[in-house]
Amino acid sequence: MTRSSTIQGNGTFEVKRRTSARLRKKIKRASQLRRRRSLERRTAGWARSLELTGGASGLIAAAGAPLLRLLAESSGLRAGLSKALARPGFVPGHDRGQVLTDVAVALGLGATSVAGAVQVLQQSQAVLEMVASCPTAWRAFEELDAAAMARLAAARAAHRRGIWARLAARPGGFPWVEVAGQTWAGWIVLDVDASLVESHSQGRRGAHVQETRLRAAPDRGVGGQHRRGSGGAAAPRQRRQ
């Protein structure tokens, strides 16, 4: 910080203080750091104030939203996404990692659009506290360029590796599925609320084609699909409902 003086018209001196560019940048970074820490406290504060009580007061409609959101918060997923989306010089009013997490939570509960996701979350706002509006959610998506998507993918992969490592470190090892007394090591089983719907049709060359679809309930996003021809083997694949 430097000082300069100028002579005023009445013969007195006026002392001015000039802040160097380096000091101004330092002050700006410190201010942004304070704002970012404040945002983190507001974003994660709801999870620290949860309390399980009995009674009929304070009930919410979407009871699953706080549970899924708490899982993302406690496991570190939300913090990882927030770090991946942090930009120098920009501190939003709503944490971008939390916004994406909330939309994913709402889609898992049956929402089919961003507006519908916000409505689902607002049903639990008494517990979730901070819920982004629909325009804010769309802004968060519009900010996702190729570089941001790559950082998100890396954050999700790191989180997934961490979760699998924690499961493998359990006293009993990884909790593989057991069927009829046999452990299916290496198999990942998705338990969905769905029903099988079979349909028959005639193929292009007259071959009989049987198609089996797994219709998932509205609150489930992924179902399996298997196709079998008139002599070929079944080829499983995944599809989104």
Is residue 238 within 8 Å of 221, Cβ to Cβ? no
Map out the domains of the chain as residue ranges. Answer: 59-168, 194-240
Alpha carbon of 22 to those of 27, 31, 32, 34, 163: distances in Å? 9, 14, 16, 19, 43
- List pLDDT tens digits, range 2-30: 555 555 556 565 555 666 777 777 766 67
Residue 190 CA to chain centroid, in angstroms? 20
- Reported confidence tier of residue 129, pLDDT bands at 50, 70, 90: confident
Report the pLDDT value the prediction gives residue 234, as an integer from 0 to 100.
40
CA distance 59 to 154: 37
- List pLDDT tens digits, range 23-51: 777 766 676 677 777 777 877 778 887 77
- Reported confidence tier of residue 93, pLDDT bands at 50, 70, 90: confident
Which pTM was predicted? 0.63
Alpha carbon of 95 to those of 42, 143, 149: distances in Å? 9, 13, 16
Average pLDDT over residues 65-86: 91
Backbone angles phi and psi of 97, in degrees to 5:
-65, -35
CA distance 142 to 114: 13
- List pLDDT tens digits, range 217-233: 544 443 333 333 334 33
Mean pLDDT of the chain: 76
CA distance 101 to 135: 16
Is residue 27 within 8 Å of 18, Cβ to Cβ? no
Average pLDDT over residues 58-74: 85
CA distance 18 to 212: 76
- Here the tokens at position 101 are 């997490």
